Structure 1
Amino acid sequence: MTKEAALREELKKIDVNEKLSACPIDFSRSKVANPRAGQQSKTYVSGTAKSNFNDRKKFQPYQEPQFNNLFTDGTLPVEANRYRLIWSRHCPWANRLAIAIDLLGLDNVISKGVVDPLRPAGVVGDWFFTLDDNDEDPVLHTHSLSESYLKADPNYDLRTTVPALVDIKTGKVVNNNYNTLIDEFSIAWKKYQNENAPDLYPEALREDIDALNKIIYTDVNTAVNEAGLARSQADYEKYYNRVFNRLDWLEDRLSKQRYLFGSIITDTDIRLYVTLARFDVVFYQKYYVNKKRLVDYPNLWNYTKDLYSLPAFKNNTDFDAIKKRFYQVDHTPQSDLPRIIPNGPDLSNWTAPNDRDRFEK
């Protein structure tokens, strides 16, 4: 059986839902994932932001990307310094794009703005530029991401999500599709990429990349969240088993080659990395996905350290922001929402040597 056929066979075993799986700490009814679950709604004074963390009807846990304008079909002009990626350093979906932009060398022509991983007390559906001077994005001159969503659609009433690509000229969100933007940058922005930039979406591998992306999305990227969202033992065990069956499968795959498709880094490696980078820090502890840690998988762990050794990965991996978002949750006072932020795990081993160059030899 060829590799391509093997991937198709694996794909037949799973049900792929490409709607965004929201962060369980906002939408889970389980106290395990969401420390606010079951709390009485309370109004906080936070500028114009409204306290709404018990408003689950409006902000459903699944949501498709609402803005899908493309470069590859000519809808969006490929123009240097016209677009700004808005992301949060805690978010794996957004983290993908930040890594890809730097890895391709597009950081000189596509700027990046960062929202605070901690929202105002009680707020679920928006992100804010409270890390910047005057609480304002220095390029877009907006205070919240929803402002760019509303410029694109004045009737927009869903939650605002990261990543979001904003047209600086108009201030409008033009694409928030976390599943397609890497490939858009890979294909349509080649004239601006570094000379030595990897081809993240090589034409000869696209069918295989698409298949493995769906497998990883379903059994790793979203399955860890689904374990956190679970409201029954049966649902929890379903996703728990999905995660570790797939990690075992990936461990075997990476025992034979440096990256997921041999000796080259592709889109798929970025998609897997962002979940692995958060595994021991968050998912193993907080969502009870705790059969094994990442460091217990020799190939997966060394593969992740290998990617982390590259500046595009390391500089866009912020463990402090990850821990803040998943454990501190938001700016709710400790007296209203008691929570503890764990000191561990020890992160010094991320810069330890890895063994992946054995495949190049």
Structure 2
Amino acid sequence: MSEMPSPVLSAVEFQRRLLAWFDVHGRHDLPWQQDRSPYRVWVSEIMLQQTQVATVVPYFERFMMRFPNVRALASASQDEVLHLWTGLGYYARGRNLHRAAGVIVDELGGDFPMDSEALAALPGIGRSTAGAIIAQSSGERAVILDGNVKRSLTRLHAVEGWPGRPAVERRLWALAEHYTPHERLVDYTQAIMDLGATLCRRGTPECGRCPFVDVCLAHARGEERRFPESKPKKTLPTRTTRMLLLRDARGRVLLEQRPASGLWGGLWSLPQFDEFPELQDWLDCHAPGSTIEPAYPSFIHVFSHFRLEITPQPARVERLDAVGETRRWYDPQNPDAIGLAAPVKSLLTGLLPFALNAKPGP
């Protein structure tokens, strides 16, 4: 497999076309483009991983209001960080962001390392994110290869194979390195990301407006949607769980903090049980005198590697004083600032048809 790009387009011509398009059509008013700093670029890049710009913007703005710098983030509790992350998904990103802030403050004196290897050694920062932080905040030459860039380069050169394969990824890194200029790095890195995000989109690429339509091999073949090739599909297994919606006489709901690692790590969730008898035994032991009500309808929450079928199981108890260090009473009417697992947040805020005060289904 050749490591060099198609000779029909030189690196200089690629840069010229891309930057000319960006100057007119690129995004120049994103919040992290204002008052640029390694910290602001870093937070935005982590939030943008597998998440669209329109979704990220309000989260970024709220995050910056509460944590305007890395020291403010490092001094916060994980609960507070995950609370502001709730709904953004992929919560390991938020945990790693918090951990990395601690490393930067405690071990590096609050200063971001500005070389790729040192940045990539921090929790949650990979090679491409490190490159984006350097290029976007300092203007120094650094190469990026996020999902948008992979898609654009894969189509431009009709690169065969799933980009997650090491050989294919090496080819794409070689192409990204070849095209990255030595000047206008701030604009170039934003432009190459914008190209994939706004024109060379996954499902509906707008080839007619693309500055590379005349040299794109995938377009020439009429195979834009074939590239990049998808990851080989596996049938997602389905797991089942019962979530206990235990309310006291004041209408508060019992929550349980998940372990630091694993599913919904560090977030607050409803107590979970594999089977109904296990749930009933727990109530008999920890909440004697509680009343079990008919279950709400089950629903599916999809993760990247499995589907979780959740059955909310309501129950009531008059009083339960000793809830332990990893449990707490939560008042949906006066919610605490804590990180919640997404389906739990939906249940507690009534976004699903079987909200807390809804009548159970048949």
User: Normalised by the size of structure 1, how large is the TM-score?
Assistant: 0.24
Indicate the structure with greater strand content: 2
Q: RCO (CA 8 Å, sep 6+): is it higher in 1 or 2?
A: 1
User: Normalised by the size of structure 2, how large is the TM-score?
Assistant: 0.24
